[in-house]
A and B are shown apart, each in its own frame.
Chain A
Amino acid sequence: MDKLSQLWRRALFYARRDRFDRELEEEMRFHLELKAEENLAAGTSPEEARYAAERQFGNQTLLQEVSRDMWGVRSIETLFQDLRYGVRTLLKNPGFTLIAVFTLALGIGANTAIFSVVNAVLIKSLPYREPERIFQALRRYPQGLGEAASATKFSFYRQHNQTFESLAACDILGAGVSLLAGDEAHFVSSLQVSADLFPVLGVNPLLGRTFTAAEDQPGGGRVIVISHSLWQRLFNGDRQIVGRTVTLGGAGHTVVGVMPPGFQTRPSAEVWMPLRAVFDVADKGNNYLMLGRIKPGVTPEQAQADLDRVRALMRKDYPEHIGDNETAAIAGYQDRLVGDTKLPLLLLMGAVGFVLLIACANVANLFLSRAAARSKEMSVRAALGAGRLRLTRQLLTESLLLAVAGAVLGLLLAHFGLKTLIAITPDSLPRVSEIGIDPPALLFTLGVAAAAGILFGLAPALDAGRLNLVNALREGSGRTTGSASRARLRSMLVASEIALSVVLLIGASLLLRTFANLRNENLGFDPQNVLTLKISMSDPRYQSTAGTEMFLRRVFERLRELPGVESAAYITTLPTELCPDMLFHIEGRQQNDFEDSNYKHITPDYFRTMAIPLRQGRQFEERDSESGAGVMIVNESFARRFFPNESPIGRHLTIGGNIGPDYADRTREIVGVVGDVREEGVDISSAPMMYVPLAQRTDRLTLLTNKLAPAAIVVKTRQNPLKTEPAMRAAVRSADAAQAVSNLRTMEEVLSWSLARRQFNMLLLSVFAGLALLLSAVGIYGVVSYSVQQRTREIGIRIALGAQARDALWLIIRQGLALTLIGVTLGLVAATALTSLMKTLLFGVSATDPLTFTTIALLLTFVALLACWIPARRATKVDPMTSLRSE
């Protein structure tokens, strides 16, 4: 209370400070008069009396100032004074100001932009209610984590856990579905979710409702919930949509709800359908994600222990459902979503931090060189009584002003930079839609600007504090050489800039080489002139293998009729996309000896379309139909792993075996071996793979597959496949008018999509490294050219005394070279330590790749020498007469 009223009185005072000054002056005058009268009464002459009074009174102005200071507003007034003066000084040197502001804007803008991304992806809470209580349930093995669970397991866990408010499940990957709006079929992404998913995420629908428990039971009726964007796009935001029936995959579905804008599940979808998971001891297919909301007051550790208890319970009753080394684990939903984007983003954040440091060093250097020119001004001010603190403060005010200007321009740069950034952001980066310059980003920018202002302002300010009055005034002709300490400081700054640039450049080159390596990696197939497309198989007519096959056969026939099309084939999922895997048993091996391998279903032309070489045996043929003998083809990795010293051809095995009736399969004979394909991504080495003809897939498996993912089709063309794109769409439509084609991309696009995130990181880091290189080149140029200017007279004397132009050149370059070498050495040492952080992001190149390190060291030395050479050449042109006369 007391403090508050004091504050109030101070504020009141500040508002009336002019009156205060007047009044104080009057009070002093009154005091003096009384004092003079007193002296007069004591018998001195009036003049003397007044003089004595004034003498006794002392310095009236100072007294007045001290009295004012009591109110503590001097600092505010000084601030305004400093600001005014700072603005004037900066405007007087537009060149200096412009360069400084722009340099800072680059540094601050880059930081703001990357921070906005980091904030949206890593820091901001998920747009769900109390997201910190949402956890994903995982399986933990000694080798790592598995995230998929079976419907059976989900049902069991849901029933027996005690720590979750509710536990939900959804597909690992949405299948997508053809939606008929008007008379046009649209491919929309879809996801099966348990009714609990919406309460788990804690989001209420905008219109209508989400699924009821009854609807989530088998036979619960055809109901869907749609996303806000789909509602806007296909139904024009019609509020009467709830309760209406729409045709989805050839069957009528009732829309029961519309979710609010911005709501998304992961995997994302435009249409949500009930999952209808049931407890079925026979079903062991791990096709779902399991996530839940823990009860209030329950710790993650308790929840994990609880799930592990349930796991033990299930293992006791249904041992075949839980792996030998399996334990239950949980992970925060946000951490799971962010996953592997965390490291690259933090890396980029570090990189822009470096860029800002370099920018600060540059501006500090500018300040220091200006400080030399200003030393006279400073000495005069000091001589007139400005305290050391006061001078330091003035300089800091100027640098903060610059920083604020830099921040404003930086925000502008960040705004446009972010637009570009979002445009090139890979779709796989989570939460892209949430990126933007919001209050936290603004606050961050402000903080960065303040820190930068102090950082680059501190060196010159401290330097000014060390001012030696006498020397500065004596030198005073504006041709001061600058103190030795100042020169040392500048050199240190430049050396650090170079060191930072070396680190950034090495980081960027390592990513660049990684990317090149991945690009040149032998994929095991030829992506050239291959077009891929996805077709939703959710139509009831395609729920049998025969139906699916007949439809595809028709599509292939139409496609092959198109000019330029060589072949077309089906595959479960494309290379680099999510790849199913399955247990199998090799006949003749120990009973219950199950192995695991990737597996996909294909139509006979697949290998030809993708140019995957046949190594042994034969390809699939027409005779490998439903009624034919069971056959399969494996890849070389499979042959090597499971038949190390024998030929796999002619061997029999059973796929699926004990997983459940959906997966029960006939015994198959291996009829061929094909080359390895980078199936799980360009950067993941090939794993064993089994290919099974689509025609021999069981109906149950077809049903399941069509529910989990859209069918992928690859088409080999003779020329650029995109030219035939419209014709292909038409061909599919002519095979079935209700079918929508989606994701029509060339195989090369699919591949670069799988590398998109790496490309994103590489691109950004390269831009930052380039920026760093430019800034440090400017930095070293500035220092060297300044030193040439300072040493003109010295060089003039040297030349007059017979030194050659070459000597003068060397004199200057030597200085720059020394700085560069120190900087490069420091940078190499730092890079050795720092690049180990990005080990996991590299491919085919070591984190301390000697070639990269050497190249970058040479590159920087070269650029630095160039930056020295330009001003150094000026030194050789020094005319001794002019330079000596310029005294």
Chain B
Amino acid sequence: MGSDAKKTELVPGTLEMLILKTIERNAGPMHGYGIARYIKQISGDVLQVEEGSLYPALQRLAIKGWVKAEWGQSENNRRARLYKLTPAGRKRLKQEVADFERVLEAILRVVQPT
């Protein structure tokens, strides 16, 4: 696996949340490449999702029943596997975001000078 030193490491445990959030923001179902690109763009190139983590993570989400994969058309009319959020996934996302915000807030409180 070619690892790129310049890439910023994701905060552990946030990849799944990012994927779920990305799919939720996008109106329709998304393919893997689209998800990776979207995360990269929105984060201003700070967050880079490696393919080596992306696809296993998508499988994990599928097993847990939070996303559902089906074949469809990509924006340029090619056959692609598209992922969409399930109601369970939506619920999970809400909870993960809430947890994350709570933790983030706590971390900020610790590191910020008063």
Residue B60 contacts which of A5, A38, A58, A70 (CB distance < 8 angstroms)?
A70
Closest Cβ of chain A: how far from B80's Cβ, in Å?
A: 5
Within 8 A of A (CB), among B13-33: 31-33
- The contact string, 1 if C-beta is below 8 Å from chain A, for chain B 37-67, is 1000000000000111001101110111100
Check A123 for interface membership: any CB of B closer than 8 A: no
CB pair A66–B2 under 8 Å, yes or no, is no
A76 contacts across to B, CB distance below 8 A: none
Q: Which residues of A in the span 1-37 have a Cβ within 8 Å of any Cβ on B?
A: 2, 5-6, 9-10, 13, 23-24, 26-28, 30-31, 34-35
Chain B residues contacting A23 (CB-CB under 8 Å) are 71, 81
Chain B, range 57-89, C-beta contacts under 8 Å to A: 58-60, 62-65, 71, 74, 78-81
B1 within 8 A of A: yes
Contacts of A24 in B (CB 8 A): 55
Pick from A2, A56, A67: contact of B59, CB under 8 Å: A67
Q: Are A34 and B65 in contact (CB under 8 A)?
A: no
Q: Is B63 a contact of A6 with CB atoms below 8 Å?
A: yes
Distance between B16 CB and nearest chain A CB, rounded to angstroms: 12
Report chain A residues within 8 Å CB of B80: 27, 30
Contact status B32-A6, CB under 8 Å = no
Contact check: which of B55, B64, B74, B81 meets A6 at CB < 8 Å?
Answer: B64
Contacts A6-B63, A71-B63 known; A58 to B52 CB distance under 8 Å? yes
Kindly list chain B residues whose C-beta atoms are within 8 Å of the C-beta of A5.
Answer: 65
A67 x B65 contact (CB < 8 A): no
* Cβ-defined contact, A34 with B33, below 8 A: yes
Q: Report Cα–Cα, A13/B56, bound state, in Å.
A: 15
Residues of B within 8 A of A71 (CB): 59, 63
The CA of A30 and the CA of B30, in the complex, are separated in Å by 13
Cβ of B1 and Cβ of A58 under 8 Å apart?
Answer: yes
Q: How far is the CA of A30 from the CA of B72 in the complex (A)?
A: 12
A-B contact count (CB 8 A): 67
- Tell me if B31 and A30 are in contact (CB < 8 A): yes
- With beta carbons under 8 angstroms apart, the residue of B51, B63, B65 that contacts A70 is B63
A623 at the interface (CB under 8 A from B): no
Q: Which residues of A contact B79 (CB under 8 A)?
A: 26, 30
Point out the residue from A6, A31, A68, A69 that lies within 8 Å of B33, measured CB to CB. A31
Q: Does A59 contact B (CB under 8 A)?
A: yes
Chain B: residues with Cβ within 8 Å of the partner, total of 25
* Assembled-state Cα–Cα distance A55/B64 (Å): 31
Let me know if B1 and A59 touch, CB within 8 A: yes
A6 to B65, Cβ gap below 8 A?
Answer: yes
Chain A: number of interface residues, binned into ranges: 20 to 34
Assembly CA distance A86 to B7 (angstroms): 45
B89 to chain A, nearest CB (A): 13
Q: Are B2 and A56 in contact (CB under 8 A)?
A: yes
A-side contacts of B4, CB under 8 Å:
56
A264 to chain B, nearest CB (A): 58
Q: Is A57 an interface residue (CB 8 A)?
A: yes
Cβ contact within 8 Å between A31 and B51: yes
Instruction: Select the residue from A2, A24, A70, A71 with max chain B CB neighbours within 10 A.
Output: A70
Among candidates A27, A34, A38, residue contacting B55 with C-beta atoms closer than 8 Å: A27
Closest-by-CB residue of B relative to A62 is: B1
Instruction: Identify the closest chain B residue to A35 (Cβ).
Output: B33
Min CB–CB distance A65 → chain B (angstroms):
10
User: Chain A contacts of B60 at CB under 8 A?
Assistant: 70
Given contacts A6-B65, A58-B51, contact A70 B59 (CB under 8 A): yes
Residues in A whose Cβ lies below 8 Å from that of B52? 58, 62-63, 66
Is A27 in contact with B81, judged by CB distance below 8 angstroms? yes
Nearest chain-B residue to A69 (Cβ)? B56
- CA gap between A9 and B69 in the complex, in Å: 12
In the complex, A781→B4 CA distance in Å?
60
Q: How distant is the Cα of A513 from the Cα of B63 in the complex, in angstroms?
A: 69
Residues from chain B with Cβ under 8 Å of A57 in the complex: 51
User: How far is A28 from B51 in the complex, measured between Cα atoms in Å?
Assistant: 9
What is the CA–CA distance of A244 and B32 in the complex, to the nearest angstrom?
A: 88
A32-91 CB contacts (< 8 Å) to partner B: 34-35, 38, 55-59, 62-63, 66-71
**Cα(A23)–Cα(B72), bound, Å:** 12
CB of A31 within 8 A of CB of B32, answer: yes
Q: Which residues of A contact B56 (CB under 8 A)?
A: 63, 66-67, 69-70
Instruction: List which A220-256 residues lie within 8 A (CB) of chain B.
Output: none
How many Å from the CB of B79 to the closest CB on chain A? 8
Q: Determine the chain B residues whose CB is within 8 A of the CB of A13 once the complex forms.
A: 63
List the A side residues contacting B62 at CB < 8 Å.
9
- Residues of chain B contacted by A2 (CB below 8 angstroms): 65
Shortest distance from the beta carbon of B91 to any chain A beta carbon, whole Å: 12
In the complex, which of the residues B2, B32, B59, B71 has the most CB atoms of chain A within 10 Å of its own CB atom? B59
Chain A contact residues, CB within 8 Å of chain B: 2, 5-6, 9-10, 13, 23-24, 26-28, 30-31, 34-35, 38, 55-59, 62-63, 66-71
15 new A-B contacts, CB < 8 A, other than A34-B33, A57-B51, are A6-B63, A27-B55, A27-B80, A31-B32, A38-B37, A56-B4, A58-B1, A58-B52, A63-B51, A63-B52, A66-B55, A67-B56, A68-B59, A70-B56, A71-B59
A-B contact pairs, 14 of them (CB 8 A): A6-B64, A26-B81, A27-B80, A30-B74, A31-B51, A34-B33, A58-B50, A59-B1, A62-B52, A63-B52, A66-B56, A67-B55, A67-B58, A68-B59
Residues of chain B touching chain A, judged by Cβ–Cβ distance below 8 Å, are: 1-2, 4, 31-33, 37, 50-52, 55-56, 58-60, 62-65, 71, 74, 78-81
